[in-house]
Amino acid sequence: MEYGGNRMSEVTSPIQPEATTAAPRAKKGKRGLIVPFLQTILPWFAGIVAICGLVAAVDWVLDLQLMIVKRGPAIFGVVYVTNLIRYLLFAGGTFLAFYVVLRRTGWFAQIQKSLASWADIRREVTYSLASLAIFAMVGVLVYLGELAGVIHFYYDGIPTAQPFFWFSVVTMILVHDAWFYWTHRLLHTKYLYAKVHRIHHQSHNPTPWAAFAFHPVEAFVQAIILPIVGLFMPLHPIMIVIWMLYMTGMNVFGHLGFELFPRNFLRYWPFYWHNTGVHHNMHHRCVNYNFGLYFNYWDLLFKTNHPEYQAEFERVTSREDKAMTDTHDD
Ligand SMILES: [Zn+2]
Ligand SMILES: [Zn+2]
């Protein structure tokens, strides 16, 4: 059961929107962002801080000298800063490249008629910065799993020469793809959409800054897949780096607002098994379709691709005037 309607406003195609029950656009202005943002994140962040404070207090009172208390804050800081750099490089770099430099060249197809509003971009950045804190907290959980002996890292040898290393890279990506598809379907059930996933869907015309613009619960659901896989498979830090680069790249590509693949991409196997920029951009307009992250086979198998997906892709990529407008929504 999916929730939300088919928004196809400001689209390049003749597809008409169905009656929408999707979240309304955020109010413009600072109050329209800050108050709902704090209402969304504060209960969750207060709970996390309270649990951490309790653990630290018990450690201090009983003089347990717990490693998680000693190292936890430093691990949190390192993971937060590392992820922040990754976010700024990928989202900031592509935003600068496509929205500032390349937009006027018409080399790449702009998917929707106009650009996202500055209010949308501010909201996407604000929620993403909060999501990075949840990702850092999951980094601390990974460390806790290693301390507890249930998550194993290996560091020895030249990993790229080991078949198991490449097996683990492929497994991580395939498992995450399945995890993303099915948790995403779950997030589109009525209750979870209204309470959680609607935050991400406030962007109807997403930019790369929306890559991590999640409700704290959704950020946790996305990040927890690493420790879950770590319970069943030894992890190498370079495997995690490769997976994160591909994950961030595809996440940014899905929200880029420009299509990078050529016009014939979806006509041939195996290319149509890989998702495109148009695929996830359509999901932000037609919320009942296109749930996949990296690959299209889950959407193909469960018939959740938008019926106009390929036609929309070809319309976008075959336009003469690929750069459609200079103006932002507001
Ligand atoms: Zn999205
Ligand atoms: Zn969604």
Q: Per-residue pLDDT tens for 96-134?
A: 999 999 988 888 999 998 889 999 999 999 999 999 999
Centre of ligand 1 from the C-alpha of residue 130, in Å: 16
Q: How far is the CA of 189 from the centre of ligand 1 (A)?
A: 16
State whether residue 258 is helix, strand or coil.
strand
Q: Are 22 and 6 in contact (CB under 8 A)?
A: no
Bridge partners (DSSP) listed for residue 259 = 109
- CB 102, CB 108: distance < 8 Å: yes
Inform me whether the pLDDT recorded for 31 exceeds 70. Answer: no
Torsions phi, psi for 258 (to 5 deg): -130, 145
Instruction: Yes or no: say if 234 and 154 are a contact pair by the CB < 8 Å rule.
Output: yes
Separation of 49 CA from ligand 2 center, angstroms? 28
Does the structure show a pLDDT above 80 at 29?
no
Which ligand lies nearest to the CA atom of residue 180 in the structure? 2
Give the integer Cα–Cα distance in Å for 56 and 18: 52
* Centre of ligand 1 from the C-alpha of residue 149, in Å: 35
**Backbone dihedral angles phi then psi of residue 281, each to the nearest 5 degrees:** -60, -40
SS3 125: helix
pLDDT bin (cut points 50, 70, 90) of residue 6 is very low
Q: Are strands 109-110 and 258-259 parallel, antiparallel or unpaired?
A: antiparallel
Structural domain boundaries of the chain? 65-318
Mean pLDDT of 134-153: 97
- Mean pLDDT over the full length of the chain: 89
**Is there a cis peptide before residue 270, judged by omega within 30 degrees of 0?**
yes
Residue 46 has, within 13 A of its CA and on its CB side, a CA count of: 6
Please indicate whether residue 1 or residue 269 has the higher confidence score (pLDDT): 269
DSSP state of 117: P
Predicted confidence at residue 30, as pLDDT, reads: 53
Res. 253: pLDDT tops 50: yes
Q: Average pLDDT of 243-258?
A: 96
pLDDT tens digit string along 273-292? 999 999 999 999 999 999 99
- Residues 175/177/182/185 CA torsion (nearest 10 deg): 170
Q: pLDDT digits over 205-227, tens only?
A: 999 999 999 999 999 999 999 99
pTM above 0.95, yes or no: no
**Which ligand is nearest the CA of 287, by number?**
2
Cα separation, 144 vs 20, in Å, equals: 44
